[in-house]
A and B are shown apart, each in its own frame.
Chain A
């Protein structure tokens, strides 16, 4: 079969903020750039980032990049790499001004400067008073950034492949990444994109869990492609959960509901948070509230016919308070549950929100792995940025306002490093036909006909299993059972068949390949969670409730082959300032 081939200097897979920021840097430097996206670029998940982007501009309160760095290191529960964190926090102010010049309509103060709001986890003077560090374009910062970057890329003549799905990376025997095999969703035709450099920017993997806040496109495609190219993925046990999502559906009910006096009850009407957090009660930290809800459900005190959620009461606050202070929550509940929270309590369950782990990179966006010489050797020609990557600035937990910063800072940094790489690597390497064939066989596998398990059913079973065995309630026995179950389910993938074998817009085939990706990422997550015998950041083990810096101040690396785990040290030395040594984390 003759497959169309196209050549570019750089192939960017994923058109969210990270991918588009890198593409812009490259196109402006007159590199020939292709951006491949399975949906139209402005429908990437970056649009969902409402909060804003952190930068120590000091427009509202005194601020300093070093204080921002301290907060980020502390927020990461000391698992973040301090060189990357210093780089990010130092670059932040410049990056925000650059975005403003590119056209992002940031909200303003009366004096004309960029408005900045206070957010949890931000402090002045290394843990002192609250800081105001988050720059926002009203409540649609991600949307504004994404649209601006897309328009700038059009101007810079970036080549877009909209509605194309990346199947797998192409890799030669020396370990160089040479591009990818992609599929036109419209025609069902595969293409070979040969590229001197390839950047993965495919976003997170919230869809491995049943209840999650992520867009359904977030199936961990880039992480799975890396795994299949024998590249490990890092720190996958760290997944940020929000305690209150609409049960079974995932949409976020913000902390504001409890801040305004809302509280949680179990099926007996008991205000159970009083038992878990005597003083803070419903305002205890996110992980405590999340785990308490999970325990209530596990111990049979959940609500509803399946006993699979608890109730969030705001009905006692009265219609006026809810309408005035919680209008967004009321809209959400009215829309998705067809009920009014003024009259009835809201069914809630912890919802998966952000993937801290991902493809290991250094602060230049280069993908790094232990190849024999050291723990962090660059894989030639391969880069990764954003939620699919682990640079690692978020460590064990991410601060609000740092995810948009991460994608823009490291998108730009990767673009700059790629420009240097292209200067030294002026020609395309010979294509590795074996690697292409391997990618094509992944596609051809879905041509098998006949009866078999359905993609939908197996995906739902995987998501439910991950929620039950690798959610917020984690202990040895539960996680081990989770590993066993996910492995057993993965073995059933071979028996899955799709019923649509047409070429044009065959979305069943795409969903089948997304399911394969979900399995790779889910197995990495549950295996890494079982291995880490401590509680740190978002990874909370009932059987190991304390952080253990002596044994576990290190990054985990999961390999697809044999499901092997490896570890590497945390980079605790910043670029120019002193290290922040681990301390107990108290807010």
Chain B
């Protein structure tokens, strides 16, 4: 899988639910430049998850089977500020 550009990835962070928009867009806007290639690949892969399941993952209600997702999900959650 080729790594997509930031703007292309950012557009794929536009989802059908505000909760996902908030988490994913905040992550890419604040963390993209400091992400390593492995994280970037995992993130890109994660974006292919259907919205309802992605919400379960990101809200911590379901643990993904694929362990590479777990790390990037933690980073997405940690990037939320208040």
Interface residues of A (CB under 8 A from B): 38-40, 42-48, 140, 143, 146-147, 163, 185-186, 212-217, 249-251, 331-332, 334-339, 504-507
- With A215-B21, A331-B60, A332-B59 known to touch, is A44 a contact of B16 (CB < 8 Å)? yes
Q: Find chain B residues with CB under 8 A from A38 CB.
A: 14
Residue in contact with A214 in the complex, picked from B10, B12, B18, B58, CB distance below 8 Å: B18
- Can you add 15 more A-B contacts, CB < 8 Å, to A212-B18, A249-B22, A331-B61? A43-B14, A43-B51, A46-B16, A47-B51, A143-B52, A216-B18, A217-B14, A331-B60, A335-B23, A335-B80, A336-B22, A338-B80, A338-B82, A504-B8, A505-B7
CA distance A243 to B59 in the complex (A): 22
CA distance A365 to B20 in the complex (A): 31
Check if B25 is an interface residue, CB within 8 A of chain A. Answer: yes
Which residue on A lies nearest to B16, using beta carbons? Answer: A47
CA distance A249 to B21 in the complex (A): 11
| Interchain nearest-CB distance for B74 vs A (Å) | 12
Q: Find chain B residues with CB under 8 A from A506 CB.
A: 7
A335 touches B14 (CB 8 A): no
A251 touches B22 (CB 8 A): yes
CA distance A337 to B17 in the complex (A): 18
Q: Find chain A residues with CB under 8 A from B14 CB.
A: 38-39, 43, 215-217
Interface residues of B in 1-29 (CB under 8 A from A): 5, 7-8, 10-12, 14-23, 25
CA distance A38 to B5 in the complex (A): 18
| Interchain nearest-CB distance for A254 vs B (Å) | 13
Residue in contact with B51 in the complex, picked from A143, A331, A334, A505, CB distance below 8 Å: A143
Interface residues of B in 45-63 (CB under 8 A from A): 50-52, 58-61
| Interchain nearest-CB distance for B70 vs A (Å) | 15
- With A185-B11, A505-B7, A505-B8 known to touch, is A216 a contact of B51 (CB < 8 Å)? no
A335 touches B77 (CB 8 A): yes
Residue in contact with B10 in the complex, picked from A163, A215, A507, CB distance below 8 Å: A507
7 interchain residue pairs of minimum CB distance: A47-B16, A505-B7, A143-B52, A48-B17, A47-B51, A216-B21, A140-B52
- With A47-B17, A335-B58, A336-B80 known to touch, is A42 a contact of B51 (CB < 8 Å)? yes
Q: Find chain A residues with CB under 8 A from B22 CB.
A: 249, 251, 336
How many A-B contacts at CB < 8 Å in the complex? 87
CA distance A216 to B22 in the complex (A): 9
Residue in contact with B16 in the complex, picked from A45, A163, A212, A338, CB distance below 8 Å: A45
CA distance A25 to B82 in the complex (A): 46
Interface of A is mostly: loop
CA distance A143 to B17 in the complex (A): 11
Q: Find chain A residues with CB under 8 A from B50 CB.
A: 42, 143, 147
Task: Count B interface residues, CB 8 Å.
Answer: 27
Which residue on A lies nearest to B82, using beta carbons? Answer: A337
A215 touches B7 (CB 8 A): no
Interface residues of B (CB under 8 A from A): 5, 7-8, 10-12, 14-23, 25, 50-52, 58-61, 77, 80, 82
Which residue on A lies nearest to B20, using beta carbons? Answer: A215
CA distance A504 to B5 in the complex (A): 10
A-B CB contact pairs (8 Å), 26 listed? A39-B15, A39-B16, A43-B16, A44-B16, A45-B16, A46-B16, A47-B51, A48-B18, A143-B50, A163-B11, A185-B11, A213-B18, A215-B14, A215-B15, A215-B21, A216-B14, A216-B18, A216-B21, A217-B16, A331-B61, A335-B23, A336-B22, A336-B80, A337-B82, A504-B5, A505-B8
- Between B15, B25, B50, the greatest number of chain A beta carbons within 10 A of the residue's beta carbon is seen for B15
Q: Find chain B residues with CB under 8 A from A339 CB.
A: 82
| Interchain nearest-CB distance for A500 vs B (Å) | 8
A507 touches B17 (CB 8 A): no
| Interchain nearest-CB distance for A350 vs B (Å) | 15
CA distance A47 to B55 in the complex (A): 11
| Interchain nearest-CB distance for A424 vs B (Å) | 36
B80 touches A215 (CB 8 A): no
| Interchain nearest-CB distance for B77 vs A (Å) | 6
Q: Find chain A residues with CB under 8 A from B20 CB.
A: 215
Q: Find chain B residues with CB under 8 A from A335 CB.
A: 19, 23, 58-60, 77, 80
Q: Find chain B residues with CB under 8 A from A48 CB.
A: 16-18
Which residue on B lies nearest to A138, using beta carbons? Answer: B52
- Between B5, B14, B18, B50, the greatest number of chain A beta carbons within 10 A of the residue's beta carbon is seen for B18
Q: Find chain A residues with CB under 8 A from B82 CB.
A: 336-339
- Between A143, A146, A163, A213, the greatest number of chain B beta carbons within 10 A of the residue's beta carbon is seen for A143
Which residue on B lies nearest to A212, using beta carbons? Answer: B18
A507 touches B7 (CB 8 A): yes
- With A43-B51, A338-B80 known to touch, is A215 a contact of B59 (CB < 8 Å)? no
